Structure 1
Amino acid sequence: MTTMKVLISGASVAGPALAQLLHRDGHQVTVVERAPALRDSGYAVDFRGAAFEVLDELGILDEVRAHDTRMRGTTLLDGAGAVTGELPAAAFAGELEVPKRELTRILHRITSDGVAYVFGDSIATLTPHDSGVSVTFERAAPRDFDLVIGADGVYSTVRRLAFGPHADAVRHLGMSGAGFTTANHLGLDRRGVLQRTGDTAIYLFSAGDPDRLTVSLSFATASAALDRCDRAAQQDAVRTAFAGHGWQAPRLLEAMARAADFHFASACQVHLGRWSHGRIALVGDAGYGAAPTSGMGTSQALLGARSLARQLAAAGGDHTAAFAAYEAELRPYVTRNQTLGREAAALFGAGDRPAEDGAQPAP
């Protein structure tokens, strides 16, 4: 098989996993990441089903298992904080759950010797031609690559440049939320609590660090517009959504204002009629995000990376045949996961909302 120069945008999960598999097949891989360094944030991620095969193929299954959060379950509460039920650990933690920072650290370590990483930069333009793709960057000098792969999340730069505006692909699921950590004043020990009141939800859990409480404050929204606002506007929206709530809400809103690790995101899915365009393809959330509510994002990223690498190898470097086979193999799996994501969003208070900016899922 011909050795190819491959550029991957995104150094979270799908990007490094694909980079390692392509490097093993003899390709020259470069990963560009907008963040100045490896990201050390994000909730825990979980693995289900065939994702374990990919971890094993990457040679990291035992190391990943060593970081198991060993969650014990989630207690359901009513508006006053009284217990109404219990969810098993697998509802949120899957078959295995680890802190995301540990997974990204492991993936970066196993790829750092054979894969070139460029942090603090991003793709500026993509110009396809007969033999490859000419790429300009925000900082680095222009280069040519045989293939460009977008593994850069729901708001993918590669997808925007090669496939069209975000509004054509991103579907809002009717909920947004703030996340941060604070002192574990509830004394939770590898457990979570979930309180849903109307169109809001408070999810609290402690895993890994017994002194820290991870907080998620979710509420119904008509669009993902808040994702593009500054922290002040996002926090104002959270305070408005939880105004008048009792139980832990007042204390959590105060902690939110002081949190150094505050982040905000809306639950969105990505729907495209196809995941490739010439020599440019998408993997993971960039091409077919199922939303965090699906519980399948990490597994989907790993399986997508493996499928794409295998199909490129099977096609002997014929990217057109490989991209078509990759999509044919993975799309039924993605469709099921996206259905799960939409159904599960209701548990966190999401209402029935139209797709953002009129975007609709592809048939």
Structure 2
Amino acid sequence: MGLKGKKVLISGASIAGPALAYWLGRHGFEVTVVELAPSLREGGQAVDFRGDTHLTVLERMGVLDDLRRLRTGGSPMVFVDEQGKTGLRLPADFAGGDIEVLRGDLARVLYEHSLPYADYVFGDSISELRQDADGVHVRFRSGGARTFDLVIGADGLHSNVRRLAFGPEEQYVSHLGYYAATWSLPNYPGLGFGEGSVGVNVPGRYASVGTDNRNPETARAFCVFAADRLTYDRHDQEQQKAIIAEAFAGVGWDVPRLLATLNDADELYFDSISRADVPNWSNGRVALVGDAACGATIGGMGTGTGIVAAYVLAGELAAADGDHATAFARYEHVLREYAQGCQKGGDRTGKFLAPGKLGIRIRNWMLSRPRILNWMLEEGKKATSLDLPDYRLPRPAQPSKSVPLLTASQL
């Protein structure tokens, strides 16, 4: 069918969405990205890239140097007990990989690089999908309607596209027994141990705080706690703050001061630690990428996997000359085993950060041994290794003109 005039709608403007928009645009597709949030999401925890595969894709995108300038410098981790006594210290590369950046910084860089190749629509979302031989007929929450050749869900673990085109979330997302939260707070005297983060462990709970090397006036709290599946409104932050406060009531060290800052937090991330397993990443003209297809909330190297998946999906669509059936099958063949291997790390995140009493002692003892720690770091790099295809780009690195942004009303 050829690529010219091939219209693709991407749902989600966080990480995988803008990365995919960039590559599809470079290959000649006409791309629209729709995002529920009114603007790019700021803040968030640090995310990392590790190994040659991640770095190669970032370099081919032309963003590697930008991210190196924005890198946090890594986040050493210190684990203490309720009296502040250190039980374990981990080096920056344990959590930070080869490059660590704040999630908000990464999202902005990817958005800016993709902007000349895609139209972005903020403050809207897909409300209905209907496929036929002519394409995917999409209705938006704002009331607009358009037809696209393909629709890609890059909208995370709780994917709206997956729900509409594949079925209810409960069929694909498994709760792993823990919840996580993070929010920003002002730095204060005596906070933490300087660079990196310091956190307290009690059985089944972990609460930490870390400073931003590039902005010493700001700190970030991060909490994990064990719990069965909770019922709450994902859009009600006050309810979520109450859940966090109850989960950490009575914990010592600096936790009362951290909880006191929660009331004034204007941006809070709170979610279950979960895993997405979708048997087939495509359904007709609709496909999933990143966490929507094979994600883990924390620890599953989802950011790096999403970047790689966007590169492969766009490349296979171009290689198949827009034949989505062939391209989607090839995309999944190349990526599934790799993504699932990376995803396994997320199954262990909650147990690592917030284990039981015996688990705390075993973790601290094992990772205090340099040989064991170095082995784990090497295994982490091996997990991100992929024989990466090299897709030919038909377009110059810079378009001849910029593309105007659409508003929700123009959909």
Shorter chain as normaliser: what TM range?
Answer: over 0.9
User: Residues 23 and 99 (structure 1 numbering): CA distance in 2 closer, same or farther, change over 3 Å?
Assistant: same
Superposed CA offset, 1:27-85 (max 9, x none): 10000011111111211211112111111111111011100100251112123210112
Provide the C-alpha distance between the structure 1 equivalents of 2:280 and 2:355, rounded to a whole number of angstroms. 28
Is 1:86 aligned to residue 92 of structure 2?
no
For residue 164 of structure 1, the aligned residue among 162, 167, 175 is 167
2:231 match: 225
Q: Secondary structure at the match of 1:244?
A: coil
Q: Distance in 1 between matches of 2:110 and 2:24?
A: 14
Q: 1:349 aligns with which of 351, 354, 357?
A: 354
TM-score, normalising length: structure 1: 0.92
Q: Who is 1:58 aligned against?
A: 61
Q: 1:45 aligns with which of 39, 44, 47?
A: 47
CA contact (8 A) 2:3 2:318 kept: no
Conservation of the 8 A alpha-carbon contact between 2:233 and 2:239: no
Partner Cα separation in structure 2 for residue 308 and residue 329 of structure 1: 9
Residue among 169, 187, 194 paired with 1:189: 194
Displacement of 1:236: 2.2
Q: How does 1:111-122 map to 2 (within 5 A)?
A: 111-122=114-125
TM-score, structure 2 as length reference: 0.82
User: Matched residue of 1:63: which SS?
Assistant: helix
Instruction: Describe how 1:1-363 pairs up with structure 2 within 5 A.
Output: 1-3=2-4, 4-49=6-51, 50-71=53-74, 73-139=76-142, 141-185=144-188, 186=191, 188-207=193-212, 208-226=214-232, 228=234, 230-294=236-300, 296-349=301-354
The alpha carbon displacement at 1:276 in A equals: 0.3
Q: 1:224 to 1:64 in 2, by over 3 A?
A: farther
2:280 & 2:169 partners in 1: Cα distance?
A: 15
Shift of the alpha carbon at 1:199?
0.5
Segments of structure 2 that go 5 or more residues without pairing to the other structure are 357-411
The answer to which of 63-72 and 217-226 deviates more is 217-226
CA contact (8 A) 2:75 2:196 kept: yes
Q: Deviations over 1:176-197 (max 9, x none)?
A: 1221122222164331113221
Q: Name which one, 1 or 2, has greater alpha-carbon Rg.
A: 2
Shift of the alpha carbon at 1:134?
0.5
How many residues align? The count is 350
Q: Which amino acid aligns with 2:309?
A: G
Please report how far the alpha carbon of residue 226 of structure 1 lies from its aligned counterpart in structure 2 after TM superposition: 3.6
Is the partner of 1:228 in helix, strand or coil? coil
What's the offset of the Cα at 1:235?
A: 2.1
Residue aligned with 1:134, SS: strand
Q: Aligned to 1:41, what secondary structure does the other structure show?
A: coil
CA contact (8 A) 1:121 1:140 kept: no
Q: Give the distance between the partners of 1:71 and 1:27, measured in 2 at CA.
A: 37
Tell me how large the CA RMSD over aligned residues is.
1.6
Alpha-carbon distance in 2 for matches of 1:231, 1:145: 35
State the identity as a percent.
42
Question: Take 1:231 and 1:147, find their aligned partners in 2: how far apart are those partners?
Answer: 34
Q: Is the 8 A contact 2:21 2:117 kept in 1?
A: no
1:202 positional shift: 0.9
Distance in 1 separating the partners of 2:79 and 2:221 = 15
2 CA distance for matches of 1:47 and 1:203?
Answer: 22
Contact 2:192 2:210 survives alignment (8 Å)? no
Partner Cα distance (1:11, 1:197) in 2: 37
* Structure 1, unaligned runs of 5 or more: 352-363
